[in-house]
A = this chain, B = another copy of it.
Amino acid sequence: MTEITDKNKASSRSQFILYWGDMGGQWGVNRSVAQIHALLYLSTNPLNAEQISEELGIARSNVSNSLKELVGWKLIQRVPVAGDRREHFVAETDVWEMALLIARGRKEREIDPAIRAIDMCVTQAETETGLDPEVLGRMHAMQDFLATADKWSGQMLSVPKSNLAALMKMGNKVLTLLKIGGRQAK
C-alpha cells in the first residue's frame, strides 16, 4: 500500500490494473484473471488470496478460481511465506518469459485442437466418394499449413528466451541475412 500519493486520484498502478483487466477481455481471459495478474506483476512481495480480494474488490471465491487459472498458465507461482500458513503468490516478472508462457498456452488451446479437428475431416474426406477434388485440395492446404505452423511454433517455443529476444530485435534483417530476399528493412 502506497502512503504518499493521495488515495482519491487514480494511481498509475491502479490504472495499469484497470487497463490490463480490460485488455484481458480482448485476449480471451476474463477481467478478474487479468486484473489479478496485473496486480501480482506489479507487486514486489507475495500476496495471499485475501489481500488480492480486498485490494481489487472482487469476491474471495472468484480470486481462488482466477489464481488457479493463472497457475495453470504458469504466469504465477505459489510461494511459502515464513510464519504464515496461507498460500501466497508471485507473478513471473520477466516479460519475455511471460510472452513464452502465453504463447505456449495459446498454441495448446488454439492450434492443437484445430489440427486434431482438421485431421479428422481430411481422413473422412479422403474416403468420401463424389467430393469435388478442389474442395479436398483446400482441406489439404489448410491441413498442411496448420502442420507447418505447429511445427514451427513448437520449435520457436523451445528456444531459450534470450535467443528469441535477439531474433525479434533483428526484425526483418534476418531475411536479408538469410538471402531469402524480400524488401530491405524499411
Residues of A within 8 A of B (CB): 2-5, 11-13, 15-16, 19-20, 22-23, 26-28, 41-42, 44, 93, 95-96, 99, 109-110, 113-114, 117-118, 120-122, 124-125, 128-132, 134-135, 138-139, 141-142, 144-145, 148-149, 151-152, 155-156, 158-160, 163, 165-172, 174-175, 177-178, 180-183, 185-186
Contact = CB atoms under 8 A, between A and B. Distances in A.
A134 B168 CA distance: 26
Nearest to A180: B166
B156 A167 contact: no
B163 A182 contact: yes
A14 to B, nearest CB: 10
A142 B63 CA distance: 24
A120 B170 CA distance: 27
Nearest to A3: B130
A42 B175 contact: no
Nearest to A171: B155
A12 B186 contact: no
Contact of A132 (B2, B160, B165, B172): B2
Contacts of A27: 110
A4 B148 CA distance: 33
A145 B95 contact: yes
A144 B94 CA distance: 12
